[in-house]
């Protein structure tokens, strides 16, 4: 079975929890807005990773499913707010929450997902000390995500950003939630501290590689496959690793603004290809995958461990 099918198998375990853990209550439109992106689809990578981490330490998967659902809620909370800040109009091929319900409603929808995620995680069937550890991890992770998003926003107004600054930002903005998913899955599954740290490091590294690949896909994937505006990072002035490398090669893209034509985007992407910047970013992502896989050496051999390694490879080869 291909790794995508393995992920789907685990994501279905999580999808079935929405009616129980995030039912449409009153006011109805708030919950419809909150559930909008989840119902629009998504790969559910983070909850699948949490479940695989539990399997890898031989824990009880059924008991951690609410935790996996809470991780997906946090992810969707960040997407709603991210779309607001980036002024994106499409997500997963559907109108973004702020476009469909308005800006104030979208903010509230995101906030609802955040608070529900904490509530759900607090009620997981596990030893209290382990639940508290996981709540601490998730709350700190959310703070780091906000710090990373703030850095990302500030970078847009800077003429130059270093690769080291980019990597720090991506670690916070994207890597930490993958790290939290892995470590929470392990902790609730009964792992020891050494294994929990290894799972955290694996998740963090994979999250950074995932984001680099995401930055590349924003450039090379047709809009109908991407599910959002192609080149949105370019138009938004995002300082991606691709753009940082291109800047060092003398490629200036400041003329690409929101509303840029398809021809302008095509020309900019070709310039990035010619500079070797897209290849450079992908090489970095591949190096991170190799590095991340070694973190799993402390875990006992298992099918779940091998699936995590396959998932790492998929993260930097996926096409959407």
Tens-digit pLDDT profile for residues 21-70: 999 999 999 999 999 999 998 889 999 999 999 999 999 999 999 999 99
Output phi, psi for 187, to 5 deg: -60, -45
Distance, in Å, from the CA atom of 277 to the CA atom of 20, rounded to the nearest integer, reads 46
Task: Give the pLDDT score at 223.
Answer: 76
What angle do helix axes 277-294 and 303-315 make, rounded to 10 degrees? 170
Cα angle vertex 160, ends 154, 165, to 5°?
Answer: 65
Task: Give the pLDDT score at 319.
Answer: 87
Give mean pLDDT, residues 197-221: 97
The CA-to-CA distance between both ends of the chain, in Å, stands at 20
Task: Give the pLDDT score at 108.
Answer: 98
Q: Tell me the Ramachandran region of residue 174: left when phi exceeds 0, alpha when psi lies from -120 to 50, beta otherwise.
A: alpha
Question: Which residues have CB under 8 Å from 99's CB, separation 6+?
Answer: 89
On whether the CB atoms of residues 83 and 109 are closer than 8 A, the answer is: no
CA distances from 272 to 35, 148, 197, 228, 251 (A): 37, 25, 37, 20, 8
Task: Give the pLDDT score at 262.
Answer: 87
Task: Give the pLDDT score at 101.
Answer: 98
**Which structural domains are found in the chain, ordered by start?**
3-315 (1.10.600.10)
Distance, in Å, from the CA atom of 125 to the CA atom of 220, rounded to the nearest integer, reads 44
Give mean pLDDT, residues 119-141: 98
On whether the CB atoms of residues 113 and 104 are closer than 8 A, the answer is: no
* pLDDT, tens digit, 9 for 90 and up, residues 14-31: 998 999 999 999 999 999
Q: How confident is the model at residue 79 (pLDDT cuts 50, 70, 90)?
A: very high
Q: How confident is the model at residue 255 (pLDDT cuts 50, 70, 90)?
A: confident
Would you say residue 224 has pLDDT above 80? Answer: no
Q: Which residues pair with 95 in a beta bridge?
A: 90
On whether the CB atoms of residues 316 and 285 are closer than 8 A, the answer is: yes
On whether the CB atoms of residues 72 and 129 are closer than 8 A, the answer is: no
Task: Give the pLDDT score at 257.
Answer: 86
Give mean pLDDT, residues 238-245: 96
Six token digits for residue 33: 């807005």
Q: What is the average pLDDT value for the chain, to the nearest integer?
A: 95
pTM over 0.85: yes
Question: How many residues are there in the chain?
Answer: 320
Would you say residue 231 has pLDDT above 90? Answer: no
Query: Would you state the torsion angle of the CA atoms of residues 44, 48, 50, 51, taken in this order, to the nearest 10 degrees?
Result: 140
């Amino acid at each position: 079975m291909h790794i995508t099918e393995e992920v789907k198998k685990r994501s279905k375990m999580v999808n079935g929890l929405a009616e129980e853990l995030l039912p449409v209550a009153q006011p109805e439109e708030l919950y419809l807005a909150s559930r909008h992106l989840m119902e629009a689809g998504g790969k559910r990578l983070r909850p699948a990773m949490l479940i695989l981490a539990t399997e890898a330490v031989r824990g009880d998967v059924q008991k951690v499913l609410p935790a996996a659902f809470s991780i997906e809620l946090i992810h969707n909370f960040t997407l709603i707010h991210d779309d607001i800040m980036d002024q994106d109009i499409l997500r997963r091929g559907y109108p973004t929450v702020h476009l469909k319900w308005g800006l104030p409603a979208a903010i509230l929808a995101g906030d609802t997902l955040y608070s529900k995620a904490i509530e759900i995680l607090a009620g997981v069937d596990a030893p209290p000390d382990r639940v508290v550890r996981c709540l601490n991890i998730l709350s700190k992770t959310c703070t780091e995500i906000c710090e990373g998003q703030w850095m990302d926003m500030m970078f847009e107004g800077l003429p130059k950003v270093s690769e080291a600054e980019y990597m720090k930002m991506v670690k916070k903005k994207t890597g930490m939630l993958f790290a939290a998913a892995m470590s929470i899955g392990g902790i609730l599954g009964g792992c020891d501290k050494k294994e929990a740290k290894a799972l955290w490091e694996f998740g963090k590294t994979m999250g950074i590689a995932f984001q680099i690949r995401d930055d590349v896909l924003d450039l090379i994937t047709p809009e109908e496959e991407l599910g959002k505006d192609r080149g949105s990072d370019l138009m938004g002035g995002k300082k991606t690793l691709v753009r940082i490398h291109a800047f060092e090669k003398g490629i200036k893209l400041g003329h690409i603004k929101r509303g840029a034509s398809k021809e302008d985007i095509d020309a900019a992407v070709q310039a990035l290809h010619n500079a070797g910047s897209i290849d450079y970013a992908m090489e970095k992502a591949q190096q991170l995958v190799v590095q991340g896989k070694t973190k799993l050496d402390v875990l006992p051999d298992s099918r779940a461990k091998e699936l995590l390694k396959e998932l790492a490879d998929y993260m930097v080869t996926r096409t959407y």
